[in-house]
Amino acid sequence: MLVQYHNLPVQSLPILLLCSGFLALLFRSFVRRASDLRKQRSWGCKSVPSRFQWEPFWGVDLVWTQWQALRGHYFIPWLSELHKGQPKTFQITFMGTRVVYTIEPENLKSLTAINWKDFAISPLRRYKNAGAAFANRGVNVVDGEDWVFSRALIKPFFMREVYADTERLRSYTDHLLRILPPDGETVNIQPYLQRWFLDVTTNFIFGAPMDALTHPERARVTWAMLDVLRGNRLRLQMYKVMNLIDWSWWLRAIKIVHAYMDEHLDRVYADIAERERRIAAGEDVGPERLDLLWYMAKHCPERAELRSQLSLLFVPNNDTTSIFTGNVVWHLARTPAAWAKVRAEVLAHGDAPLTFEALRGMKYLNACINETHRLNPNNVSQVRMCINDTTLPLGGGPDGKSPILIRKGDVVQVTKTVMQKDPLYFGEDVDAFKPERFVDQAHFWEFVPFGGGPRRCPAQMMVQTETAYILARLAQVYARIEPRDENPFVSVMRIGPSNKTGVLVALHKH
């Protein structure tokens, strides 16, 4: 045999290598399958159905279609199509990795709350340092003790006296209402909401507003932030071939965002140094700043570390509330009866302040917010990588009711955009905007817009409060919201899912 291989023509070597590689893949697949079956039997699990793939070893077919969906801004419809005709839990191969897709609420509960320590985020979001040029340490990309530290850095997000303080929103909302176009004029309200939110959030995080309501051009830095996020998403999805792609546009965006962050870091470190100098000199310095960056800088003195932590907090969240609020307005403009109920509920509150407690007590307003979360969740999916062999409770066997084995290195994705349209939990009219689903009706793991378990979104109460406040203020002023766009809602991924054509409406005071 050695002589025969030695005498093979050079032209045959690529074929030989290809065949050898194919046989190696088959052998690896056979060994893995045999090992899985042994462990399944010992743990009482059953097999997960597989979605058909033209190329089942690396999943090149799905890699290509997902890449096209991300670049073409139709990722959410792509996800829906992926689930179409499949059981509630199924598996695919993506770049050689087994990925389990599920829309079972009990699996989400197990993934994020019950067996959450068997799953991790860092191997997905920091793989091959795909996003390291931008930032590599922060609450939404690390696990273990690093996560405990990062979470402690953003402690003010959890403090009731912060998220329940609606007075901090009043002046910015007054300004927004003054600059909105006159009655009946067509306006894309989304950019106005973005500028409002940027002023609110920059004041909370940096101690001074961007003043984007007065100077719209200052919001342009968010365009670079969107490019950074888009690049991060593409690099993480295409991590095994990312070195073959030109990322110069992404690096340019990072440079712009880092320059913006550095301005704030320079200021906070200078202020801390000056305060310490004056204290040492025995001077009266007054109370400390109350913004989040001041708190973070006091507990994270290393500059590169702080810039990373701050970037991964601010950039992915600089537009979340405004996008979401715009989505609520989009739906309410097309459901005048719902807007009338919201307005009646708000006006019944009279001239009393719109406190946190008052807003929480407005059931129909909050039902509209939750119904928008259901239809257009900011958090499209929950994705984790398994770090210890474990199980999920549902998805195995012909009926999908048996536990399934999840091996170390597998990825699990709960697709919330599909799960939250399951007729089993939300009725047959799942595509309709119907806030009544959330009036005096409890929902559990089938509806967790901010995630569940220890790693649920820390800004949950802040987002809900800010959204309720701005909607209530609009309801105090405008009797009607008229849609000025006949197109259906077409989701494009920005920071969250946003309507492709914006939120074109006319606001009427009478």
Dump pLDDT digits (tens) for 471-493.
999 999 999 999 999 899 888 87
R_g of the chain, CA atoms, integer Å = 26
Question: Is residue 237, in this structure, part of any structural domain at all?
Answer: yes
Q: Is the pLDDT of residue 497 over 90?
A: no
Q: Is the pLDDT of residue 1 over 80?
A: no
- State the pLDDT at residue 6: 55
Residue 76 neighbours by CB distance under 10 Å = 21
Work out the average pLDDT over 193-217.
94
pLDDT tens, position by position, 421-472 = 999 999 999 999 999 999 988 899 999 999 999 999 888 899 999 999 999 9
- 289: which residues sit within 8 A by CB, 6+ positions away? 207, 271
DSSP string, 87-139: -SEEEEEETTEEEEEE--HHHHHIIIIISGGGEESHHHHSGGGTTTTT---ST
Band of residue 39 on the pLDDT scale cut at 50, 70, 90: confident
Q: What is the rounded distance in angstroms from the CA atom of residue 155 to the CA atom of residue 311?
A: 16
Q: What is the rounded distance in angstroms from the CA atom of residue 139 to the CA atom of residue 221?
A: 22
DSSP count for the chain of H helices, then E strands: 21, 12
Band of residue 417 on the pLDDT scale cut at 50, 70, 90: very high
Instruction: Indicate left, alpha or beta for 488 from its phi (over 0: left) and psi (-120 to 50: alpha).
Output: beta
Do 410 and 384 form a contact (C-beta atoms < 8 A)?
no
- State the pLDDT at residue 430: 96
% pLDDT > 70, the chain: 93
Residue 483 neighbours by CB distance under 10 Å = 18
pLDDT tens, position by position, 368-413 = 999 999 999 988 999 999 999 999 999 999 999 999 999 999 999 9
Distances (CA, A) of 344 to 327, 334, 339, 475: 21, 17, 9, 8
pTM of this structure: 0.90
Do 448 and 108 form a contact (C-beta atoms < 8 A)?
yes
Q: Is 66 helix (H, G, I), strand (E, B) or coil?
A: helix
Q: Is the pLDDT of residue 317 over 50?
A: yes
Number of domains in the chain: 1
pLDDT tens, position by position, 168-196 = 999 999 999 999 998 899 999 999 999 99
Domain that holds residue 470: 48-508
DSSP category for residue 317 = G
DSSP category for residue 489 = P
% pLDDT > 90, the chain: 65
Q: Is 406 helix (H, G, I), strand (E, B) or coil?
A: strand
Q: What is the rounded distance in angstroms from the CA atom of residue 481 to the CA atom of residue 505?
A: 7
Do 509 and 477 form a contact (C-beta atoms < 8 A)?
yes
Bridge partners of 402? 396
- What does the block give as tokens for 385? 């990588």
DSSP category for residue 283 = -
Question: Is residue 314, in this structure, part of any structural domain at all?
Answer: yes
- What does the block give as tokens for 126? 């920091």
Question: Is residue 91, in this structure, part of any structural domain at all?
Answer: yes
Band of residue 3 on the pLDDT scale cut at 50, 70, 90: very low
pLDDT tens, position by position, 97-112 = 999 999 999 999 999 9
- Residue 67: CATH number of its domain: 1.10.630.10
- State the pLDDT at residue 480: 96
CA 229 to chain centre: 11
Question: Is residue 10, in this structure, part of any structural domain at all?
Answer: no
Question: Is residue 367, in this structure, part of any structural domain at all?
Answer: yes
Tally of residues, the chain? 510
Instruction: Answer with the residue of higher pLDDT: 316 or 286.
Output: 286
Question: Is residue 13, in this structure, part of any structural domain at all?
Answer: no
Tokens 């003043």 correspond to what residue?
211
Q: Is the pLDDT of residue 301 over 90?
A: no
Instruction: Answer with the residue of higher pLDDT: 243 or 303.
Output: 303
- Which stretch of DSSP H or E encloses residue 309? helix 303-314
Amino acid (one-letter) located at 214? T
